Amino acid sequence: MKVEDTQVTAAIVKRFMRDFLDLIELDVAVVGAGPSGITAAHYLAKGGAKVAVFERELHVGGGIWGGGILFSRITIQKTAKKILEEFGVKLQPAKDGCYTADSVECVSKCTASAIDAGARIMVGLMAEDVMIREKDRVAGLVLNWGAVKAAHLHVDPLGIAARVVIDATGHEASIARVVERKIPGAKFPTRTGCVIGEKPLWADIGEREIVRNTREIYPGLIVAGMAANTVFGSPRMGPIFGGMFISGRRAAEIALKMLRKKR
C-alpha cells in the first residue's frame, strides 16, 4: 500500500481537530496527569462524566516514573491496594501493611484503565488560566501549548468550558494559585484563607491528611493529590503513593456529587 505524506498529515489534523472539538465543553476538566489526576479521571469516566485530563508535559504519570531516587519502584499502603488491583497493577507485600509496585507498570496500567473507562488525556497542553462566570465561579480552563511557554512566545490561548475543574498539578498547585492571584477576594478554606504551601517530608502525616485536604476549595474548583497538601500546608510524602490514588478517587466522588446537584 502506497502512503502519501500529505495523507498522513491530513489524517492527523482531522483526527486531532475532531477529538479536540469534542472537549471544549466538559463535565470535568482535570489539570495534571499524575497519579491523582489519572485516578480521578478513571472514576469520573466510570461514573458517566465527560472528563478530560490536560497535561503540559509530553508524558503522563507525574513523579511516579522514577520511584525513589531513580529506583523505579513505589510503595503504597493497604488502604490503596484495591484501587491498584482494579487497575491490574501487580503488588508485592513489603512490611507493616505496605506494598511495592513497578512504577512503569503502575503508570501504564493506570493510564490505560482511565482511557478504557472513557477519559480523554491530552498531553502538551497546559492550563495557564481559568475561565470564570457569574459570581466568579470557576467555569473552565484557558489552554495553551506547553511548548509555547517553554519558547517564551506571546500567543493567545483558547478557552474550554467545564462544570467542575480539578487541580491535580502536584506540588505547584498551579490552578489554585491562579485563582488566588487573579480573582479579587478569593478565599480558600485554609487557616490563612490562601495557599499555605507544602511542608517538608513527613510521609505518615502527609498521607493521612491528603484525603481530608481533597475538597472543593473554591466554587467549581477541587484540589487533589499533592496540590491539596500544598494548598492546606501539609507535608510532602516522597515515593509512597497510596494517598495520591485515594485522593484521586475522592476528588472524583466529590465532582460527581457536584454534577448531580447541578442537574
Query: Which of 108, 106, 147 lies closest to 128 in space, CA to CA?
Result: 147
**What residue spans define the domains of the chain?**
5-262
Average pLDDT on 182-197 reads: 97
Instruction: Report the C-alpha gap between 263 and 88 in whole angstroms.
Output: 34
Provide the grid cell at 47.
461514573
Cβ pair 148, 75 in contact under 8 A: no
Binning pLDDT at 50, 70 and 90, where does residue 149 land?
very high
Instruction: Tell me the sheet residues that pair with 142.
Output: 129, 159
Query: Which of 186, 178, 48, 183 lies closest to 119 in space, CA to CA?
Result: 48
Q: What is the pLDDT of residues 78-91, one digit of tens each?
A: 999 999 999 999 99
Provide the grid cell at 134.
457569574
The CATH number of the structural domain formed by 5-262 is 3.50.50.60
Binning pLDDT at 50, 70 and 90, where does residue 263 land?
low
Instruction: Report the C-alpha gap between 94 and 121 in whole angstroms.
Output: 32
pLDDT value of residue 116: 98
Mean pLDDT of the chain: 97
Q: What is the pLDDT of residues 88-121, one digit of tens each?
A: 999 999 988 899 999 999 999 999 999 999 999 9
**Whole-prediction pTM:** 0.97
Buried b (16+ CB within 10 A) or exposed e, 156-171: ebeebebbbbbbbbbe
